[in-house]
Amino acid sequence: MKKYLLLLLCLLSLTGCEKKEKLPEGSYIDTMDVVVNSDVELKDVIDTNLEIENKDTKLDTKTVGEQHVKVHYKNNNDKTKTYDIKYNVVDNIKPIFLSAPSTVYRLINEDSNPCDSISFADNYSKVPTCEIEGDYDISVVGDYKVKYVIKDDAGNKNEKNLTLKIVEAYPEVNKSNIVSEMIPISTLIEKYKNDNTEIGIDISKFQGDIDYNLVKNAGAEFVMMRIGVSNSPEQEISIDSKYLQNIQNAKAVGLKVGVYLYTTATSVESGIDAANWVLNTLNGEELDYPIVFDWENWSKFRRYEISLTDLNDTFIAFADTIKNNSNYKVMLYGSKFYLENVWEDRIKDNYPIWLAHYTNKMTDYKGKFYMWQTCSDGRIDGINGDVDMDILFK
């Protein structure tokens, strides 16, 4: 028995009994908390009096909680030594409201949660929660001043005022007050056309059959067209029924072209699949502008049970797949609100942006953008009905 015990102790000394490295006397390495999903390096989170060799090491900040990293430093004999340090990843960012009406109507005795009327998301938590703060009585007609309160897994919360109206019957909506401005392309040309801009339109099957000769003669210089669409993560991508006709006819009259994919990809894997679908469908078709990633299904965001980081990672996977397998570039489409609140700097600083901001004056969006969708109710010869209009900034 003593012989076997001695053998066991020898084996332990050769495998799992590694002696923990100690810092030189008088030396220290202190760490600070790191925000989840932040882009930080080792030098950003330590305070030390040692000469660190790997201070530019990128830290893993994907997961909340205690993480480890190896620090390489020079000792007194000018030899490189290694020391394991811990750092703590925290989530201190509150969830955001994607859409939340300030007034909600409910029929008397209608047993439904006003939280069902809103959409919200969190940078890290996949399933943040919502509750209504304040008193109301669904059996009594009246106006109740309450609050939406949304929370993430870390306890960060955000709130917004709500007027809950308990009514006998829903009010009628007067649609006659909704008036479209019907902006002609000539207005866009007059206001924004110069040597550094191009004026164009973006279209899909909903514009029907288009007379591209008339479109070009009206002053359009380019067309962004939908190549495909998927309305839910479970739905396969389908080609836009007018895409092949549109790209052939637009090119035939000398218009510049680009394509966009309306997607509901919600994971790295589905982002890769979407990119491969686009590449296969293009089959080497020459484009003048980048392939656009168009994600707009915000009202259903809660149903998908993803975080905002998941969505940003999905775009990166899409873009990397395009870049690694073709000569095409990739552009992100987004409205002013979502560019400011959802899409991260790692995307906005490194990819061209197609901004959607409907205003009759110059956009006040502060970020960089390559293309600006100015309206959805434009008018141009060759198209029967509304069309989106765009300005490209060279």
Q: Which residues are CB-neighbours of 359 under 8 A, at least 6 positions away?
A: 374
Token pair 């469908």 is found at 281
β-pairing verdict for 119-121 and 103-107:
unpaired
**Which three-class secondary structure state does DSSP give residue 336?**
helix
Q: What's residue 20's pLDDT? A: 56
Question: What digits encode the pLDDT tens for the residues 51-96?
Answer: 999 999 999 999 999 999 999 998 877 789 999 999 999 999 999 9
Q: Which residues are CB-neighbours of 260 under 8 A, at least 6 positions away?
A: 202, 224, 225, 226, 227, 291, 292, 293, 294, 333, 354
**From the CB of residue 338, how many other CB atoms can be counted at a distance below 10 Å?**
18
Structural domains in the chain, CATH included, are 27-90 (2.60.40), 96-171 (2.60.40.10), 180-393 (3.20.20.80)
What CA–CA distance (Å, rounded) separates 143 from 122? 30
What CA–CA distance (Å, rounded) separates 275 from 58? 27
What CA–CA distance (Å, rounded) separates 280 from 375? 31
Q: What's residue 176's pLDDT? A: 59
Q: What's residue 2's pLDDT? A: 41
Q: What's residue 3's pLDDT? A: 43
Q: What's residue 68's pLDDT? A: 95
Q: pLDDT tens digits, the chain, 394 residues: what are they?
A: 444 433 333 444 444 444 557 888 889 999 999 999 998 999 999 999 999 999 999 999 999 999 999 999 988 777 899 999 999 999 999 999 999 999 999 999 998 899 999 999 999 999 999 999 999 999 999 999 999 999 999 999 999 999 999 999 999 877 655 556 789 999 999 999 999 999 999 999 999 999 999 999 999 999 999 999 999 999 999 999 999 999 999 999 999 999 999 999 999 999 999 999 999 999 999 999 999 999 999 999 999 999 999 999 999 999 999 999 999 999 999 999 999 999 999 999 999 999 999 998 999 999 999 999 999 999 999 999 999 999 999 8
Quick one: which H or E segment has residue 310? helix 308-325
Q: What's residue 4's pLDDT? A: 41
pTM: 0.89
Question: What digits encode the pLDDT tens for the residues 317-351?
Answer: 999 999 999 999 999 999 999 999 999 999 999 99
What CA–CA distance (Å, rounded) separates 259 from 373? 14
